[in-house]
Amino acid sequence: MTRGAAERADSLRQQLERAGHAYYALDAPEISDAEYDRLFRELQALEEAHPELRSPDSPTQRVGAPVASILPKRPHHRPMLSLANAFTDEELAAWEERNARLVPEVRTASYTAEIKIDGAAVSLTYEDGRFTVGATRGNGLVGEEITANLRAISDVPLGLKGRGWPRAMEVRGEVYMPYAGFTRVNEARERDGEPLFANPRNAAAGGLRQLDPALTRKRRLRMFAFAVEPIEGSLKARTHWEVLDLLHDWGFQVEPHRERFAELAAVQERISGFEAMIPQLPFQADGVVIKVDRLALHGELGVVGGREPRWAIARKFAPEVAITRLDRIEINVGRTGALNPWAKLEPVLISGVTVSSATLHNEELIAQKDIREGDRVEIIRAGEVIPQVVRPVLDGVDPDQRGKPYRMPDKCPKCGTPVERPTDEAMRYCLNVSCPGRVLEGIVHYASRDAMDIRGLGYERVRQLLDAGLIRDVADLYELAPDRLVELDRFAAQSAEQLVSAIDASRARPLSSLLFGLGVRHVGKTVAVLLARRFGTMQALMAAGEEEINAVPGIGPTIAAAAAAFFQEPRNRKLIRRLERSGVNFKEPRAPSAGGALAGKTYVITGTLPTLSRTQATDLIEDAGGRVAGTVSKKTDAVVAGEEAGSKLEKARSLDVEVIDEAELLRRVGRTA
């Protein structure tokens, strides 16, 4: 890695941070959106080329998924506040004491308690009972407009039920991702070689800031509502408890474990009950929000420093830790050949879950913390879902009685090939593509959508084919015959035919998909396209040396070294020759494959369409080769507007973007009656 790259990345990060601060916090942008995007992409490309430069505080890592451009700003009608914390019973009592000095009535006031969901705060504007605009919290005063993404969340009512809502209001709530969905999303990301989300909160925040609402929909986010800020008209409620009931009646989800108490002592008694409940919940939560029930007292108590209301507090619980024995350090071999160390533990109960393994990240971390086999270790499972080894517990342990410092194996534990540790990387790799540890992951990846797109070839099928000895690598897929498949369990004649024909169809995929599918380290989707476009054929790429690959714009020395090493490895060369003999396409088409009537077009949908749901309209556009975006910009080709189209229609008009109706959309995609 060059010094220059590190310095450039540092400078880009500083410029982006400064620009972001000016834009959001000071409300005084210093650079244009386009300039921001350019810097952002340069940093992204640098970090992709030098993964060791990536740092968790980089602007590219701020949200779960990279956001290519800034979302439009949206000031909140009233600030979105945060909460003070209390970690003990004493701190909670002191909170009431302080409040009572200002407003003595709080001593006899009732309180509410709701589970504090760990997600992303949002504000939803309703006018005449219809959802019009939605925004993230942002800096509390100004958020980002994410209306289309919020519409893609099923818990967000588009029209309110019942009656009695203020003519205009902001509803506040928390968007979250249940654990089940979190696991599913991370499994998919792992399959696609994308970085995993550390916790459901990041996954939810990332999902909200997608530029394409179709992606938000896929995350299947949920929302609880917990507050109302009237803009016009008033709220017919005297207490927070009544507000929650109203929200529920209007069609919102409200935190189901909420309770009301006559006095703080009663809350205190119930706290341990809430604490015990948290590990059992299907979503991430880190405490209980306690609020003074009577709304009139909220005004009297006021807000500290413009940020924290005195009338509410978060009673937080420390994440649970446990101490257990680390039996062995084991190695998993991933698709890219990375050796991932993990701890096999003596099973222990943490937050209601039996934990028998924990991640150890990489060898440097093991060395730094001096974690050894046989040690007693502290394990934490803080909503983070993947348990972590915090440290060895060495009090009273005779240093001579400990095991030896851990050493990563020099040979792949699955196939015996000597492992490589690239300079400046914390990971060791097995470079043998036929390594059984890599094979399963590798074949599933090869078949995945952005690679060779072989429908019906997921983990279960691949495992079945491997176990039956029908395949050992991806080249074997092209020799599969339907009559051998039907001999297997759960393979009807039809599904066998379908699989073989899906495999057959994959022969025509472009070189870039094949390159991505082969799982060359550091070669993600974008890099695969760069390489395929530059070299045109597999033969040309294989003939190119490290230097020539390094010279491709957008590709740095790390990628070049990894790609060159991959194509030099004799086993990989043999596999590629077999793919060629099976008739797999080795060429990249000149222009990006153009197809349907809307290929290359970006459409935005707004309002309620007469017959199509938003999902149906999105599918039609995407099936015709188009893209559906959440916000209107100069790059939008057309806006499909239905009834009650709001700010997007105005924006389209002001930017002179074409506006069409549903009938015209149907005509364009060839679905007219």
From 231-239, 307-315, 368-376, 400-408, span contacting ligand IVH (CB under 6 A): 307-315
Q: Tokens 């959001």 correspond to what residue? A: 24
Token reading at 200: 């459901």
Whole-angstrom distance, CA of residue 50 vs CA of residue 43: 10
Q: Is 121 or 485 the residue whose CB approaches ligand IVH more closely?
A: 121
Give the count of beta carbons closer than 10 Å to the beta carbon of residue 594: 9
Residues in contact with ligand IVH, shown as a per-residue x/- string from 452 to 491 under the rule CB under 6 A: ----------------------------------------
Whole-angstrom distance, CA of residue 391 vs CA of residue 401: 17
From 48-56, 79-87, 341-349, 373-381, span contacting ligand IVH (CB under 6 A): 79-87
Residues in contact with ligand IVH, shown as a per-residue x/- string from 148 to 177 under the rule CB under 6 A: --------------------------x---
Closest distance between ligand IVH and the C-beta of residue 358, in Å? 28
Q: Does 523 bind ligand IVH (CB under 6 A)?
A: no
Q: Is 82 or 498 the residue whose CB approaches ligand IVH more closely?
A: 82
Q: Is 175 or 579 the residue whose CB approaches ligand IVH more closely?
A: 175
What is the CA angle 241-247-251, rounded to 5?
145
Q: Does 253 bind ligand IVH (CB under 6 A)?
A: no
CA atoms within 13 A on the CB side of 104: 0
Directed axis angle between helix 264-277 and helix 89-102, to 10°? 140
Which residue among 121, 171, 435, 462 contacts ligand IVH (CB under 6 A)? 121
Q: 375's torsion region: left (phi>0), alpha (psi -120 to 50) or beta?
A: beta
From 64-72, 110-118, 547-555, 655-663, span contacting ligand IVH (CB under 6 A): 110-118
Q: Tokens 């997007």 correspond to what residue? A: 648
Closest distance between ligand IVH and the C-beta of residue 297, in Å? 13
Whole-angstrom distance, CA of residue 300 vs CA of residue 568: 74
Residue 407's nearest CA partner among 369, 364, 374, 375 is 364
Q: Does 82 bind ligand IVH (CB under 6 A)?
A: yes
Q: Report 211-240 residues binding ligand IVH (CB under 6 A).
A: 226-227
Q: Which residues pair with 660 in a beta bridge?
A: 640
Give the count of beta carbons closer than 10 Å to the beta carbon of residue 34: 9
From 1-9, 78-86, 412-420, 562-570, span contacting ligand IVH (CB under 6 A): 78-86
Q: Does 83 bind ligand IVH (CB under 6 A)?
A: yes
Q: Is 238 or 407 the residue whose CB approaches ligand IVH more closely?
A: 238
Residues in contact with ligand IVH, shown as a per-residue x/- string from 170 to 209 under the rule CB under 6 A: ----x-----------------------------------
Q: Are the C-beta atoms of residues 409 and 331 closer than 8 Å to each other?
A: yes
Give strand ranges (E) for 19-101. Answer: 73-75, 84-86
Q: Is 212 or 255 the residue whose CB approaches ligand IVH more closely?
A: 255
Q: Does 312 bind ligand IVH (CB under 6 A)?
A: yes
Whole-angstrom distance, CA of residue 183 vs CA of residue 191: 12
Q: Are the C-beta atoms of residues 170 and 140 closer than 8 Å to each other?
A: no
Q: Are the C-beta atoms of residues 139 and 25 closer than 8 Å to each other?
A: yes
Q: Does 286 bind ligand IVH (CB under 6 A)?
A: no
Q: Does 117 bind ligand IVH (CB under 6 A)?
A: yes
Q: Does 309 bind ligand IVH (CB under 6 A)?
A: yes
Q: Does 111 bind ligand IVH (CB under 6 A)?
A: no
- Catalytic sites, residue numbers: 116
Dihedrals phi, psi of 419, to nearest 5 degrees: -90, 160
Count of residues making up the chain: 673
Q: Is 98 or 411 the residue whose CB approaches ligand IVH more closely?
A: 98
Q: Is 47 or 255 the residue whose CB approaches ligand IVH more closely?
A: 255
Instruction: By CB under 6 A, name the binding residues for ligand IVH.
Output: 81-83, 114, 116-117, 121, 174, 226-227, 255, 289, 309, 312, 314
